[in-house]
């Protein structure tokens, strides 16, 4: 039996009060990740509440799975772990490269430079303030500054993906449970963003008596119709992504050698994706956005499943109260920022109110939250093309470039 089990992983017997452990080999680990993805999608599909809060499917099932294996280990039965480091690193970098690939200068020119600058400035400002607030409160309540960062822009603006990535970096610097704290904060942030965003948008619309422009209609690009993927285009797109990922390494090497700053590898991939996209557009080289979007979503779900299916939930208990204090403050900050800053910066009109609801979504959870909040507002009050087509994607791209840089700088200074 032991010889047979060796095909699926490495068993270590219990010794000196330490529970027996089993490290699952990488293909079987991928099987578990696939089950987590399927289960999460099934749960979201059947739950109106989960759909409403736009929580990524692997987050739900991954947390449930991690609770189960934590209970099994806590009962002294066996400790399960997974051989997933290399595949998790690949998934993370491919995902962030695809995010960077969405940064198009042509798109910005069509929307107008002034509005794009204001959106970018507001995104960088809220990220910076989130970290200031988190660090100040963390210092006041005695929470390690890197864990305070995990409850700030890492989880709030960055979401589960960024919190997981920087959690691993902070743990490597000696801060225990940074991944678990960040993932939990990002998950709660998703819920807060959904609860706060709609009421903020509605408040602004009703207070200022704003109306949607009846001439503004849904354009074909924003209908949400499913695009049929093509096998040849998908293969070409995947090969392009791999080339850009390789080209991201020298960019990462340059950034990582900036004095006193330690950069995660995925930042090089973000810049490689953005540079590659705009070079291809300038040279009129054809590429296939639907297929690249599909690759992005595939690797995001795999990455989240791999991260979440083996975190130690019980490790949250010592910091749960302190984490909750920071998260409440972050929620109040995001709501106030949307009402008093974003709305004014975006033009004080109906579109500004819709974008402010989206601002709450991504800065307190994720891009999907921004989309969900804006859709809820527009379903109730009317359509706005710029708010729908430009705002969520552009704000999230700015976030995914600026947020890792500021987190890297702060992480290097505070460790």
Rama region for 284: left / alpha / beta (φ>0; ψ in -120 to 50; rest): left
Interatomic CA distance for residues 396 and 6, integer angstroms: 44
Interatomic CA distance for residues 373 and 361, integer angstroms: 6
Instruction: Name residue, tokens 């700053």.
Output: 261
Quick: pLDDT tens for 211-228: 998 877 654 444 445 567
* Residue (of 133, 160, 161, 138) closest to 148 by Cα position: 138
E strands, 73-213, are: 79-82
The residues spanned by each domain of the chain are 89-414
Interatomic CA distance for residues 86 and 187, integer angstroms: 25
- What percent of the residues of the chain are helix, what percent strand, and what percent coil, each to the nearest 5? 75, 5, 20
- Cα atoms in the 13 Å half-sphere on the side-chain side of 376: 24
Q: What are phi and psi of 18, to 5 degrees?
A: -90, 130
Q: Can you give the pLDDT at residue 224?
A: 47
Assess contact for 182 and 154: CB atoms under 8 A. yes
Report the chain's C-alpha Rg in angstroms: 22
Give the list of residues 6+ apart from residue 66 with CB closer than 8 angstroms, or none: 308, 309, 310, 311, 312, 313
Assess contact for 394 and 107: CB atoms under 8 A. yes
Q: Are strands 21-24 and 79-82 parallel, antiparallel or unpaired?
A: parallel
Length, in residues, of the chain:
415
271 SS3 class: helix
Q: Can you give the pLDDT at residue 102?
A: 79
Assess contact for 59 and 304: CB atoms under 8 A. yes
Alpha-carbon distances, residue 146 vs 152, 218, 361, 409, 411 (angstroms): 10, 44, 24, 12, 7
Q: Can you give the pLDDT at residue 57?
A: 81
How many percent of the chain have pLDDT more than 70? 94
Residue 380: other Cβ atoms inside 10 A: 11
* Mean per-residue pLDDT, 262-278: 86
Q: What DSSP string runs through 275-303?
A: HHHHHHHHTT----HHHHHHHHHHHHHHH
Q: Can you give the pLDDT at residue 137?
A: 97
Quick: pLDDT tens for 151-194: 999 999 988 878 988 998 999 999 998 998 998 898 888 778 87
Assess contact for 35 and 46: CB atoms under 8 A. no
pLDDT exceeds cutoff 80 at 337? yes
pLDDT exceeds cutoff 90 at 146? yes
Rama region for 259: left / alpha / beta (φ>0; ψ in -120 to 50; rest): beta
Q: What DSSP string runs through 314-362?
A: GGGGGGHHHHHHHHHHHHHHHHHHIIIIIHHHTTSSHHHHHHHHHHHHH
Quick: pLDDT tens for 73-108: 888 899 899 999 999 999 989 988 988 887 778 777
């Amino acid at each position: 039996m032991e010889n047979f089990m060796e095909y699926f992983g490495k068993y270590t017997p219990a010794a000196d009060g330490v529970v027996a452990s089993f490290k699952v080999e990488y293909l079987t680990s991928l099987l578990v990740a696939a089950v987590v993805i399927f289960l999460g999608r099934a749960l979201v599909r059947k739950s109106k509440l989960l759909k409403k809060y736009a929580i990524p499917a692997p987050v739900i099932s991954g947390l449930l799975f991690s609770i189960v294996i934590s209970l099994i280990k806590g009962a002294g039965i066996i400790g399960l772990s997974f051989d997933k480091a290399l595949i998790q690193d690949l998934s993370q970098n491919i995902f962030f490269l695809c995010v960077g690939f969405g940064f198009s200068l042509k798109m910005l020119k069509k929307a107008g430079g002034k509005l794009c600058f204001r959106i970018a400035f507001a995104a960088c400002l809220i990220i910076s303030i989130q970290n200031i607030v988190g660090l100040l409160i963390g210092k006041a309540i005695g929470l390690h500054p890197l864990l305070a960062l995990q409850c700030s822009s890492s989880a709030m603006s960055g979401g589960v993906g960024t919190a997981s990535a920087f959690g691993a970096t902070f743990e490597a610097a000696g801060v225990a449970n940074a991944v678990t704290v960040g993932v939990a904060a990002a998950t709660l942030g998703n819920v807060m963003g959904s609860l706060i965003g709609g009421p903020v948008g509605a408040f602004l619309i009703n207070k200022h008596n704003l109306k949607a422009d009846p001439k503004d209609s849904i354009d074909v690009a924003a209908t949400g119709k499913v695009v049929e993927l093509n096998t040849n285009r998908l293969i070409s797109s995947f090969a392009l992504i791999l080339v850009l990922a390789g080209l991201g390494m020298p960019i990462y090497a340059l950034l990582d050698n900036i004095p006193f700053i330690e950069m995660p590898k995925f930042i090089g991939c973000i810049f490689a994706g953005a540079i590659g996209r705009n070079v291809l557009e300038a040279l009129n080289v054809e590429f296939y956005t639907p297929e690249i979007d599909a690759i992005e979503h595939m690797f995001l779900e795999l990455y989240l499943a791999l991260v979440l299916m083996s975190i130690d939930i019980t490790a949250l208990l010592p910091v749960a109260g302190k984490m909750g204090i920071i998260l409440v403050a972050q929620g109040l900050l995001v709501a106030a920022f949307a009402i008093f800053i974003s709305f004014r910066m975006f033009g004080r009109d109906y579109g500004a109110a819709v974008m402010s609801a989206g601002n709450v979504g991504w800065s307190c959870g994720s891009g999907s939250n921004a989309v969900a909040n804006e859709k809820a507002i527009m379903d109730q009050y009317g359509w706005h093309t710029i708010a729908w087509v430009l705002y969520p994607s552009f704000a999230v791209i700015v976030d995914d470039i600026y947020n890792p840089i500021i987190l890297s700088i702060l992480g290097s200074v505070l460790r």
